[in-house]
């Protein structure tokens, strides 16, 4: 949440900062701001709303020559936590002297007590933010050494932060610090950058250093000095980014979401690459770092995550039970962290996260570790906090997901969970023959997804018929139940249509009271073992005048019952969750497009939820 970018070098800083903010806008877009530094001191610009508003302001206020002259700056795009999205609350925030400024991602939990103490010392706060408590505290400690002032201020701070700090008295450095919110330093030729996300650096450098919690660094055009909280120098390795600039651009698509939906044959192929052993009917997941004996000894798996990642976990639960015969459960990460989970060393916790930064999932991992349980990560972003905290697991290799609504991460997560189920299954009851069948099906996934993508135009027409309705229901059974939940989540977050996902059998236990003539009910009707039951549930809705949109396996449509049909390719029920999810992503996308919504940046949302 919130995006940070900083630059120090010899090139004009403004376009680099603005370019970075645009890349980071998906992390928060309530307001944006930047501070530029030269020998005359700090100059700031802030605007409410998207980065484009800030650009307009800069254009009006700074001459081109002036833009050229600034070679140092920090910038921020905000997702409001403390204080409304106003210009005053936008970052950067200043100290009392207005010579030091800070951009911050995270939450300063004890900001009220810091604020009260500083008010007693005569500080008059400009904003309602927690960040201003920190910027003023740094100013209080400043005696000519910015790094030291930041160290001392952070010793008094509780909470999470990724920060970049400038001082007008020390124009040759940016001080950065991280605890709980990501920060990555990019190293160029005679220049250095810092960002909350590597995607903002990729056009400038591929050489990066990921900061760890507790790190405090000083960057200059040609040096990086990182120290721990006790002020001891530490070495952090330089990583090469496995990203190219094209991966974070729209590539001709109208929205990132559509691009990411269409990338799924490739992103799932990447998730599967080198991991399927077709002849053995097994999977190769070296990152799990487990011997067959260790795999066989697991009593139970617990899948934790939030939102879309939680839904992927729910599909995993069915796969682990069905394929591997292993007891499995799913827990919302925020719940897991605060209850007293009954887990022991025979259990395996799998933490699922696209961003690898979700605060609740990170806390759930720490809780599981405290209890002595083995924890694996199922993560997209390499170098993220969850990837590092778990230390082992499987990357889904979906590439950067820019649209706030998660799409290719979901299908990558489910694909890898199927591979894990295969591996666990082969370590216990799953025969080689059945393993080979499943492995072959999983291997077909890119083509199965393509089958659905080819119906894009037809799905757009279905969306036209449902776009006028302000309510929708998604129903499914077995592994299609979490897909129904995911379909409803996608629709509500990007189109603001009130959508509910239900187990198909649950509808008549209450929610059916909400059905009125014409309400769209999306029926996931491909589950062969309970297909008749699902159709009965659809009949119940039809009898109340619902508009039935059936997502059915090729050749299994019930034309008398359905108003619209989306066809899935022939495959088993677990594998079918992926093409079905893709169909519902397209449906949500087109409804949102027709309703004129801000698809990539829906209101009130941000991409990675680094606060509780
Ligand atoms: C929905 C969505 C969110 C995330 C959730 C967890 O489209 O993106 O529900 O899935 O915030 O995020 P990660 O997977 O990054 O832990």
Looking at the fold, whether 266 and 385 belong to one and the same domain comes out as yes
- Which of 186, 218, 243 is where one domain is finished? 243
CA distance 149 to 157: 13
Give the nearest ligand 1 atom to 608 CA: 15
CB 200 within 8 A of CB 24: yes
Give the nearest ligand 1 atom to 307 CA: 9
Looking at the fold, whether 525 and 541 belong to one and the same domain comes out as yes
CB 365 within 8 A of CB 386: yes
- The model's confidence at residue 98, banded by pLDDT at 50, 70 and 90, is very high
CB contact set of 510 (below 8 Å; sequence gap of 6+): none
pLDDT at 380: 95
Looking at the fold, whether 170 and 268 belong to one and the same domain comes out as no
CA of 480 to the centre of ligand 1 (A): 19
Instruction: Give the residue, 395 or 181, on which the prediction is more confident.
Output: 395
Per-residue pLDDT tens over the stretch 264-273: 999 999 999 9
Per-residue pLDDT tens over the stretch 14-40: 999 999 999 888 777 889 999 999 988
Looking at the fold, whether 301 and 409 belong to one and the same domain comes out as yes
Total domain count, the chain? 3
Looking at the fold, whether 227 and 263 belong to one and the same domain comes out as no
Residue 250 is assigned to a structural domain of this protein: no
CA of 291 to the centre of ligand 1 (A): 31
Report whether pLDDT(528) > 80: no
- Which of the residue ranges 134-143, 173-182, 278-287, 601-610 would you say has the lowest mean pLDDT? 601-610
Looking at the fold, whether 232 and 342 belong to one and the same domain comes out as no
Mutation to probe ligand 1, out of 79, 307, 396 (largest number of atoms < 8 A from CB): 307
- The model's confidence at residue 455, banded by pLDDT at 50, 70 and 90, is very high
CA of 181 to the centre of ligand 1 (A): 16
Mutation to probe ligand 1, out of 196, 257, 406 (largest number of atoms < 8 A from CB): 406
Give the nearest ligand 1 atom to 308 CA: 10
Looking at the fold, whether 212 and 325 belong to one and the same domain comes out as no
Average pLDDT rounded to a whole number, residues 360-366: 95
Arithmetic mean of pLDDT over the chain = 94
- The model's confidence at residue 122, banded by pLDDT at 50, 70 and 90, is very high
- Which of the residue ranges 114-123, 298-307, 359-368, 383-392 would you say has the lowest mean pLDDT? 383-392
pLDDT at 242: 77
Looking at the fold, whether 474 and 590 belong to one and the same domain comes out as yes
- The model's confidence at residue 458, banded by pLDDT at 50, 70 and 90, is very high
Residue 604 is assigned to a structural domain of this protein: no
- The residues lining ligand 1, judged by C-beta closer than 6 Å to any ligand atom, are 306-309, 353-355, 358, 361, 405-406, 489, 493, 608-609
Supply the residue whose CA is at minimum distance from atom 16 of ligand 1. Answer: 353
Starting from the edge strand earliest in sequence, which strands make up the sheet with 239-240, in order?
41-48, 31-38, 72-78, 3-8, 192-195, 184-187, 207-210, 239-240
Tell me what percent of the residues of the chain surpass a pLDDT of 70: 100
Mutation to probe ligand 1, out of 331, 358, 359 (largest number of atoms < 8 A from CB): 358
CA of 304 to the centre of ligand 1 (A): 12
pLDDT at 544: 93
Report whether pLDDT(286) > 80: yes
pLDDT at 250: 82
- Which of the residue ranges 20-34, 252-266, 276-290 would you say has the lowest mean pLDDT? 20-34
Q: Residue 119 maps to which CATH number? A: 3.60.20.10
Q: Residue 565 maps to which CATH number? A: 3.40.50.10490
Residue 252 is assigned to a structural domain of this protein: no
Range of the domain at 117: 3-243
Coil vs helix vs strand at 520 = strand
Residue 66 is assigned to a structural domain of this protein: yes
pLDDT at 51: 92
pLDDT at 479: 96
The bridge status of strand 498-503 relative to strand 471-476 is parallel
Tell me what percent of the residues of the chain surpass a pLDDT of 90: 81
Looking at the fold, whether 231 and 271 belong to one and the same domain comes out as no
CA of 124 to the centre of ligand 1 (A): 38
Looking at the fold, whether 16 and 151 belong to one and the same domain comes out as yes
Residue 605 is assigned to a structural domain of this protein: no
pLDDT at 82: 85
Give the nearest ligand 1 atom to 609 CA: 11
- The model's confidence at residue 181, banded by pLDDT at 50, 70 and 90, is confident
**Residue 134: alpha-carbon gap to chain centroid:** 27
Looking at the fold, whether 335 and 435 belong to one and the same domain comes out as yes
Residue 603 is assigned to a structural domain of this protein: no
Report whether pLDDT(610) > 90: no
Residue 608 is assigned to a structural domain of this protein: no
Residue 399 is assigned to a structural domain of this protein: yes
- The model's confidence at residue 169, banded by pLDDT at 50, 70 and 90, is very high
The kind and range of the H/E element at 15 are helix 13-24
The bridge status of strand 393-395 relative to strand 374-379 is parallel
Per-residue pLDDT tens over the stretch 547-576: 999 999 988 888 789 999 999 999 999 999
Report whether pLDDT(247) > 80: no
- Which of 192, 216, 243 is where one domain is finished? 243
Question: Which two three-digit tokens encode residue 408?
Answer: 């290719």
**Residue 184: alpha-carbon gap to chain centroid:** 17
pLDDT at 605: 85
Residues noted as catalytic: 2, 607
- The model's confidence at residue 462, banded by pLDDT at 50, 70 and 90, is very high
Supply the residue whose CA is at minimum distance from atom 6 of ligand 1. Answer: 306
CA of 328 to the centre of ligand 1 (A): 21
- The model's confidence at residue 263, banded by pLDDT at 50, 70 and 90, is very high
pLDDT at 543: 92
Give the nearest ligand 1 atom to 490 CA: 7
CA distance 400 to 196: 14
CA of 606 to the centre of ligand 1 (A): 9
Give one DSSP letter per residue of 289-342, joined into a string.
---HHHHHT--EEEEEE-HHHHHHHHHHHHHHHHHH--EEEEEEHHHHHHS---
Find tokens 């008749």 and name the residue: 532
Looking at the fold, whether 566 and 503 belong to one and the same domain comes out as yes
CB 530 within 8 A of CB 477: yes
- Which of 408, 443, 478 is where one domain is finished? 443
Average pLDDT rounded to a whole number, residues 240-260: 85
Supply the residue whose CA is at minimum distance from atom 9 of ligand 1. Answer: 307
pLDDT at 135: 98
Supply the residue whose CA is at minimum distance from atom 11 of ligand 1. Answer: 307
Per-residue pLDDT tens over the stretch 463-474: 999 999 999 999
- The model's confidence at residue 540, banded by pLDDT at 50, 70 and 90, is very high
């Amino acid at each position: 949440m919130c995006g940070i970018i900083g630059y120090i070098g010899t090139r004009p800083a403004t376009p680099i900062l603005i370019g970075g903010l645009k890349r980071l806008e998906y992390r928060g877009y309530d307001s944006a701001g930047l501070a530029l530094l030269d020998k005359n001191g700090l100059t700031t610009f802030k605007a409410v709303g998207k980065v484009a508003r800030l650009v307009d302001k800069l254009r009006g206020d700074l001459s081109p020559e002036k833009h050229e002259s600034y070679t140092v700056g920090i910038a921020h795009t905000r997702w409001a936590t403390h204080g409304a999205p106003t210009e005053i609350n936008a970052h950067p925030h200043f100290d009392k002297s207005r010579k030091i400024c800070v951009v911050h991602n995270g939450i300063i939990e004890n900001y009220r007590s810091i604020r009260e103490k500083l008010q007693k010392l005569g500080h008059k706060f400009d904003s309602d933010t927690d960040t201003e408590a920190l910027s003023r505290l740094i100013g209080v400690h400043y005696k000519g050494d910015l790094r030291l002032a930041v160290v001392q201020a952070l010793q008094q701070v509780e909470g999470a932060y990724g920060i970049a700090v400038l001082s007008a008295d020390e124009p040759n450095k940016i001080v950065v610090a991280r605890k709980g919110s990501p920060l990555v330093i990019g190293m160029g030729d005679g220049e250095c950058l810092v960002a909350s996300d590597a995607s903002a650096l990729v056009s400038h450098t591929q050489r990066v250093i990921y900061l760890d919690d507790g790190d405090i660094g000083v960057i200059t055009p040609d040096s990086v000095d990182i120290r721990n909280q006790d002020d001891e120098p530490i070495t952090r390795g330089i990583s090469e980014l496995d990203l190219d600039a094209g991966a974070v651009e729209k590539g001709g698509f109208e929205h990132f979401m559509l691009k990411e939906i269409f990338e799924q044959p490739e992103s799932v192929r990447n998730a599967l690459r080198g991991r399927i052993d077709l002849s053995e009917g097994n999977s190769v997941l070296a990152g799990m770092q487990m011997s067959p004996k260790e795999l066989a000894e697991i009593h139970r798996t617990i899948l934790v995550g939030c939102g879309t990642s939680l839904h992927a976990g729910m599909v995993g639960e069915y796969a682990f039970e069905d394929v591997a015969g292993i007891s499995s459960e799913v827990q919302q990460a925020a719940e897991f962290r605060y209850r007293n989970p009954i887990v022991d060393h025979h259990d395996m916790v799998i933490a699922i996260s696209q961003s690898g930064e979700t605060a609740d999932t990170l806390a759930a991992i720490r809780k599981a570790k405290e209890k002595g349980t083995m924890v694996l990560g199922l993560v997209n972003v390499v170098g993220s906090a969850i990837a590092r905290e778990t230390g082992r697991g499987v990357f889904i290799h979906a590439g950067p997901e820019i649209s706030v609504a998660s799409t290719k991460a979901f299908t990558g997560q489910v694909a890898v969970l199927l591979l894990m189920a295969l591996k666990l299954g082969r370590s216990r009851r799953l025969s080689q023959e059945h393993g080979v069948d499943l492995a072959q099906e999983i291997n077909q996934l890119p083509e199965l997804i393509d089958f659905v993508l080819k119906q894009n135009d037809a799905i757009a027409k279905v969306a036209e018929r449902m776009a006028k309705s302000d309510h929708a229901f998604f129903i499914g059974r077995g592994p299609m139940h979490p897909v129904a939940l995911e379909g409803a989540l996608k629709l509500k977050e990007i189109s603001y249509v009130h959508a509910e996902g239900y187990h198909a059998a649950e509808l008549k236990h209450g929610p059916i009271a909400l059905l009125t003539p014409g309400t769209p009910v999306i029926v996931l009707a491909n589950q062969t073992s309970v297909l008749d039951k699902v159709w009965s549930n659809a009949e119940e809705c039809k009898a109340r005048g619902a508009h039935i949109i059936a997502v059915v396996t090729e050749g299994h449509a019930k034309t008398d019952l359905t108003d619209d049909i989306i066809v899935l390719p022939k495959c088993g029920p677990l594998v079918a969750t992926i093409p079905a999810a893709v169909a519902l992503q397209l449906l949500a996308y087109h409804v949102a497009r027709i309703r004129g919504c801000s698809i990539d940046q829906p209101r009130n949302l941000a991409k990675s939820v680094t606060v509780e």
